[in-house]
Amino acid sequence: MCTHVSQLDQEQLIEKLGIFKIHGRDKHGRKVLRIIGKFFPARLLSVDVLKSYLEEKIYPRLGKKPFSVLYVHTGVQRSENFPGISALRSVYDAIPINVKDNIQAVYFLHPGLQARLFLATFGRLLFSGGLYGKLRYINRIDYLWDHMRRNEVEIPEFVHDHDEDLEYRPMMDYGLESDHPRVYGAGAPTMDSPVCMYSMRCIS
């Protein structure tokens, strides 16, 4: 993670890209914190700015009640979106204890083989306090609706495209076939052209 961008610009970028959003409910009526991994510009954000943003803009909105996390891993590139192990640990350690305790489940959509291996190796080291045990892998969007209210959680169009690819090329789940994007179009969002390049739709 780099610090060449001013703190204000970094905060505005996080907002503009919509990396973190609290909306919708799970099947138990709990709030859902949705995180889109592909939108995360790891090269442009500093750990301190990210922690400050979460502390000021996200944690207060979660309140004091239990909630679920939906992490969308679709299209994540390590070189562009992965902040590094030390950064992940730093962000996790900075989460207030009451917020950690209120996390009921972390739904990991489209994990892929590399992500599974990484978490199997480092998950318990990175995420203490039982969070690793709350991790739930979700291979297809249809399975997500077993846990989330379908009409309330927005899923980006490129995630649906990838889901369709997996239906016809299931070996992509296991790293036995390339998951090179087919029609994602303009690619990951940037400061100049962020979320608008993706049509967001609410599943009905």
Model pLDDT for residues 79-130, shown as the tens digit of each residue: 999 998 899 999 999 999 999 999 999 999 999 888 889 898 888 878 876 8
Q: Structural domain tally of the chain?
A: 1
Question: pLDDT value at position 157?
Answer: 96
| 128 occurs within a structural domain | yes
pTM of the model: 0.80
Model pLDDT for residues 149-174, shown as the tens digit of each residue: 998 999 999 999 999 988 876 555 54
| 180 occurs within a structural domain | no
Instruction: Determine the 3-state secondary structure of 135 from DSSP.
Output: strand
CATH number of the domain residue 118 falls in: 3.40.525.10
Residues 154, 35, 37, 10, CA torsion sign? positive
Identify residue 96 by its one-letter amino acid code.
Answer: P
Model pLDDT for residues 12-64, shown as the tens digit of each residue: 999 999 999 999 999 999 999 999 999 999 999 999 999 999 999 999 999 99
Q: Using CA atoms, how far apart are residues 191 and 199, in angstroms rounded to an integer?
A: 17
Residue 155 near residue 72, CB atoms below 8 Å:
yes
Q: Residue 190 contacts by C-beta under 8 Å, 6 or more apart in sequence? A: 41
Span 65-86, average pLDDT:
94
Q: Using CA atoms, how far apart are residues 67 and 156, in angstroms rounded to an integer?
A: 21
Residue 199 has pLDDT above 90, yes or no: no
Per the structure, the complete domain to which residue 92 belongs is given by 7-174
| 193 occurs within a structural domain | no
Question: pLDDT value at position 167?
Answer: 80
| 24 occurs within a structural domain | yes
Q: How large is the greatest C-alpha to C-alpha distance in the chain, in angstroms? A: 44
Question: pLDDT value at position 2?
Answer: 56
| 93 occurs within a structural domain | yes
Q: 136: which strand partners?
A: 107
Tokens 């889109």 appear where?
Answer: 36
| 141 occurs within a structural domain | yes
| 2 occurs within a structural domain | no
Residue 74 has pLDDT above 80, yes or no: yes
Q: 135: which strand partners?
A: 106
Q: For residue 166, what is the enclosing H or E element?
A: helix 157-168
Residue 70 near residue 153, CB atoms below 8 Å:
yes
Mean pLDDT of the chain: 83
| 36 occurs within a structural domain | yes
Confidence of residue 202 (pLDDT cuts 50, 70, 90): very low
